[in-house]
Amino acid sequence: MTDYSHYAATQHPAVALSIPDLETRTTGREPADIRLWLRMLSCCTLIENEVRSRLRSEFQTTLPRFDLMSQLTHAPKGLKMSELSRLMMVTNGNVTGITDQLEKDGLVERMKDDGDRRSSLIRLTMKGRRYHRRMQRAHETWIQSLLGGLAPAARNTLFDLLGDLKQATYSRLPAA
């Protein structure tokens, strides 16, 4: 049993702002799941668009590139392509492409020192580590600014509920 009672009601207008976006197409007559999905999707799209835009204008890079580097920061010894693929939720070929670009820019390197000679370990170079650190600091600031309007208690409840949702969804995937 999980207790969400630490969450206290937030103070906000009774009527949500009517902002035209992906959720607008709902009329209220749709199943609750559809409305929930479209609302969550518009939240994500809103933030993602903003982050993509700032990564481009301030760091001349993209979200997948930043994500790949972020995954590597917690693996000093490096990660295999297949591990990156699973972590980033994209296919193997895509990871090869993104890695190629980052390698060309000297931000990551392929290490051929595994016991298994089919695979290689990808890891950040020094330059990559420095570059990522700068981006990460900015990224944290952006996210905190964008999500900062939500009260801490609400944020905690949301975090827990999304954890439940994620677990439930995973278990309902056809593959799973």
Partner DNA sequence: TATTGTTATACTCTATAACTATA
Partner DNA sequence: TATAGTTATAGAGTATAACAATA
Please report how close the Cβ of residue 126 comes to DNA at its closest, in angstroms: 21
* Residue 96 interacts with which of its own copies, DNA, none, CB < 5 to 8 Å by class: DNA
Per-residue binder mask for DNA (CB under 7 A), 118-147, x = binder: xxx---------------------------
Please report how close the Cβ of residue 157 comes to DNA at its closest, in angstroms: 30
99, with CB counted inside 10 A (0-12, 13-18, 19+), is: buried
Which one of the spans 13-21, 32-40, 95-103, 127-135 is the region binding DNA (CB under 7 A)?
95-103
- Which parts of 99-118 interact with DNA (CB under 7 A)? 99-101, 110, 115-118
- Which parts of 63-92 interact with DNA (CB under 7 A)? 63-65, 80-83, 90-92
Which one of the spans 84-92, 97-105, 106-114, 117-125 is the region binding its own copies (CB under 8 A)?
84-92
Please report how close the Cβ of residue 106 comes to its own copies at its closest, in angstroms: 22
* Residue 125 interacts with which of its own copies, DNA, none, CB < 5 to 8 Å by class: none
* Interacting residues of 61 by C-beta distance below 8 A, sequence separation 6+: 55, 135
- Which parts of 30-69 interact with its own copies (CB under 8 A)? 30-37, 39-50, 67
